[in-house]
Amino acid sequence: MNFRELGLEERLLEGIDAMGYETATPVQSQVIQPILAGKDIIASAQTGTGKTAAFLLPIVHKILTEQHAANHINALIIVPTRELAIQIAETMEGLGYFTDVSCIAVYGGGDGGSFIAEKKALSSGVDMVVCTPGRMIAHLNMGYVKMQQVKYLVLDEADRMLDMGFNDDIMKIISFLPKQRQNLLFSATMPQKMRELARKLLHQPVEINIAVSKPPEQIVQEAFVVYEPQKIPLIKYVLNTKEFTRVIIFCSKKQNVKQLTSDLKRAKFLAEEIHSDLLQDKREQVLQDFRNRKLRILVATDILSRGIDIEEIELVINYDVPNDGEDYIHRIGRTARAATKGNAITFISEAEQRKFAAIEDLLGKQVVKLPIPEQFGPTPEYAPKLHKGGGARRSGGGARPGGNARGGARPIHNKR
């Protein structure tokens, strides 16, 4: 389903277009319309199915188009970890870039300045709050949080929160909310305790179950575990091992696209870049040259992971580990089309190990880690539990469409 068929507000559609999305994922297609209709939702959907945008888009649409209390919190999203709180706020920054909807992530582990910034937003009013339970209770205990007008409550990864022992904290937070509200509950699994929580919170909910798609079997998936400075030399080595006819290299940041493209050109590779800073005419020309084999290598952001259909792409390289399993599947799905075989190689730095481990969990298997030639020196051990990398997250966070990433992990949009 095309996003324009969902009836979303035009400013939201501008953000979706700028991020390169065209077709809604299954969970988005099934969840957005019931939310727009005011229904409570209980959805079984794993990380990587697009669930973050599935609840953000309709909530932002309703905030933009319906009457809401000024200087209050309108939507509350409760999540189990600070990493998930950050990623949702970053995703909101991308999707809501062309709107004036405000959002803040509230989580522990920061300094005194972050607590003061949270207090200011929670007491003066902010459209959307993404929080971890413990941190929100710390604010609630001080008596200034404006929860009286919350219209939308989201529990994301609810099963994980229950496993972590947050049931009492969740119920305490909910006791501060008005009884009349829309409730959205997302969980990867549906054990009995999840059903009991749903019975307490939801009113005649719509139940939705989404299974994540898996990459085609004919894609050979492999990875290198490296230090960040080893990535560019190793990519050059891989590209020189075989005369690949068409290669796409995906980077998560535009600055990485530009730097890698420049390095490849200096090494005499036929490479060009595609990202949101390029004018549409230039993008189309680069794609045409790639189709016509005038170019061998495209270096791109995730703007290219959807909506293109170019056959005979032999190799996809993930220079950066994708933000989540859905992005990974879309990226590597550019190869092995039309029943042909293809290769996908991911470069995993130390900081990206936990993120890639979450993708492997979604895939239900380990991706083969290839040995690195001795000339590149020692490499890190693949031990994702020991490295503090971000967990898998929904695409679209960090960088504003058409602009640079904004510093800080607690983005706040301008208040309407």
Q: What is the DSSP string of 303-362?
A: GGSSS---S---EEEESS--SSHHHHHHHHTTSS-TT--EEEEEEE-GGGHHHHHHHHHH
Please say if the pLDDT value at position 90 is more than 80. yes
Strand, coil or helix: 266:
helix
Among 111-120, 374-383, 400-409, the range with the most confident prediction by mean pLDDT is 374-383
Q: What is the dihedral of CA 353, 354, 355, 361, to 10 degrees?
A: 110
Q: Does residue 406 register a pLDDT over 60?
A: no
pLDDT at residue 339 in the model: 56
CA distance 204 to 180: 13
247-250, strands of its sheet edge to edge: 271-274, 297-300, 247-250, 315-318, 342-348, 219-225, 368-369
Name the residue among 263, 272, 275 with its Cα closest to residue 231: 263
Contact 186, 51 (CB under 8 A): yes
Identify any residues that bridge with 103 across adjacent strands, giving them in sequence order: 128
CA angle 158, 164, 165 (to 5 degrees): 95
Tell me if 3-209 shares its fold with 219-382.
yes
Q: Report how far residue 132's alpha carbon sits from residue 155's, in angstroms, rounded to the nearest whole number.
A: 10
Query: What confidence tens digit (pLDDT) does each residue in 219-270 have?
Result: 999 999 999 999 999 999 999 998 888 999 999 889 999 999 999 999 999 9
What's the confidence (pLDDT) of residue 388? 58
Q: Check whether 404 has a pLDDT greater than 60.
A: no
Q: Is the pLDDT reported for residue 331 higher than 90?
A: no
Highest mean pLDDT among 59-73, 171-185, 358-372, 389-403: 171-185
More confident residue, 109 or 199: 199
* Residue 325 pLDDT grade (very low, low, confident, very high; cuts 50, 70, 90): confident
> Residues 305, 99, 82, 186: is their CA dihedral positive or negative?
negative
In the numeric block, which tokens belong to residue 80? 């189990």
DSSP label at residue 42? E
- pTM of the entire structure? 0.59
Task: Find the mean pLDDT for residues 330-357.
Answer: 87
Average per-residue pLDDT for the chain: 86
More confident residue, 329 or 408: 329
Which pLDDT band holds residue 390 (cuts at 50, 70, 90)? Answer: very low
Question: What is the reported pLDDT for 409?
Answer: 34
396 pLDDT exceeds 60? no
Question: What is the identity of the amino acid at 172?
Answer: K
More confident residue, 403 or 386: 386
- Please list the helix, strand and coil fractions of the chain in percent, rounded to the nearest 5, in that order: 40, 15, 45
Phi, psi of 318 (to 5 degrees): -95, 95
Query: CA 100, CA 243: separation in Å to the nearest integer?
Result: 49
Q: Which CATH superfamily is domain 3-209 in?
A: P-loop containing nucleotide triphosphate hydrolases (3.40.50.300)
Domain positions in the chain: 3-209, 219-382
Report pLDDT digits (tens) over 26-57: 889 999 999 999 999 999 876 657 788 999 99
Q: Which one, of 157, 95, 101, lies nearest residue 132 by Cα?
A: 157
Among all chains, which residue has been given the structure tokens 């957005």?
Answer: 32
DSSP code of residue 2: B
Q: What is the CATH number of domain 219-382?
A: 3.40.50.300
> Do residues 395 and 323 lie in contact, with contact meaning Cβ atoms separated by under 8 Å?
yes
Q: Tell whether the torsion through CA atoms of 400, 331, 291 and 337 is positive or negative.
A: negative
